[in-house]
Amino acid sequence: MVYMNIVVIGSGYVGTTAAAIFAASEHDVIAIDIDESKVRSLSDGKAPFFEDGLDNLVSSTISTGRLSATTSYDAIESADVVFSCVGTPDNPDGSSNLSYVFSVAKKAAEEMKPGAIFVQKSTVPVGTGQEIIKILPKSISYVSNPEFLRESTAIYDTLFFDRIVAGGDNTDACRTVLELHKTVEDHARDIATVSGVLVDTDDLVAHTGEYVATRLESAELIKVTSNAFLALKISFANSIAQLADATHADIDEVMGVVGGDARIGKAFFSAGRGYGGGCFPKDVSGLISSAKSFGVDLPIMMAASSVNFSMPGYIVQKIKSIHELKDVHVAVLGLAFKSGTSDARKSPAVKLANLLAKEGGRVYAYDPQASEEAKPDLDSSITVCATAKKALSGASIVVIATDWPEFKDMDWIKPLVAGSLVVDAVNCLPASEVQALGFKYLGVGRGA
């Protein structure tokens, strides 16, 4: 395949990862973002957020000149392929806010050369592509190319992908987008080495992901349906966890065996304070809203969303049943919606901290990467600490709200006063070890 001039619009998690990886695959890539701070960060060889291995990849591709960043849309003129990776936040009613998507499409339509391909990577409701096609010149092909990367493992997921999907009415354009991704597979060893992500490069040779061409509408629906089903599994596990608490069963034992059924699978069956981030919450609400616009109700997804919303409150009520919160020093370890990322968007850990503060707790919070991103959403009474040690000093209650590796290591617990309550909101600690050290343990669905 001839190597291409690529423009990636939007320098969030999806856009920055895509731009760096395509550049590392020897394409010439320009990242466009209206946020000057993100452009400066990329130009300095650093991702605008924390993602394992991404800084190394950005630094390498910036230094070789394969990747550059700008705020100017003039760069689109020479692009063979333009990727739209802008945000699609949810509206107050749960529907997807597509203002950025349509704004970018209109600007790209003014600059793209005939024969170029406009690719939508942002997650959008089914039917959006047909509306964008009306905006683009007829000489421009439109392809839906949803991403399936997980924050904190984005580079690994790129190298060990399950499927690459391209949907559209122009089969040649879909084929080009799939072939473009195949060049990434050709450079997988180099990407693994440069990024420093821990993978066995010998396994890359044996890995065989699937390349799939679909209808435009199918591609749009595939991504949001995948996320909705994973969210459903999490909420199902949390529903059973509440029953496990009531019956003194152990949710880990239950879901471990249930997930052992090959028809079901163990992934996304971990009970805890629920899902968050920039994808699952808005994709679930967006799917519900999109379905309603077509006259279809999705009560099963509404239930999943309701269970997820309730989990931080459920955990706080469990704490209150055994320990007073008023004027009690509570340390909350973890604010990111998951470990391995600085993303605190719609984080249940943040919601948990806020609820504890609302109940009168003196909350001291710490996260190794997400403290700054979490601050705008934290209750003003919460003290954000620079170290875990400061958050823990004098604490009677400790809440593990995100399963960072440093919180799984039991060394942090030793300075606590004997008899302190350890609340494992993500079920990442061995209960017996916590209790053997003289502390009370409270998990989610793990029995008495």
Residues designated catalytic? 279
Stated as kind and residue range, the H or E segment containing 141 is strand 141-144
Cβ density class 314-344: b for 16+ within 10 Å, e for less: bbbebbeeebebeebbbbbbbbbbbbbbbbb
- Rounded distance between C-alpha atoms, residue 201 and residue 243, angstroms: 43
Question: What is the maximal distance between C-alpha atoms in the chain?
Answer: 71
The token pair that represents 17 in the structure block? 């990862």
Total residue length of the chain = 448
Count of CB atoms within 10 A of residue 109's CB?
A: 15
Q: Using the 8-state DSSP alphabet, how is residue 89 labeled?
A: P
Helix 188-195 / helix 54-64 crossing angle, nearest 10 deg: 110
| Cross-strand partners of 271 | none
- Rounded distance between C-alpha atoms, residue 350 and residue 249, angstroms: 28
- Rounded distance between C-alpha atoms, residue 282 and residue 5, angstroms: 32
Nearest to 364 by CA among 346, 387, 348: 387
- Rounded distance between C-alpha atoms, residue 346 and residue 377, angstroms: 9
The token pair that represents 294 in the structure block? 């077509």
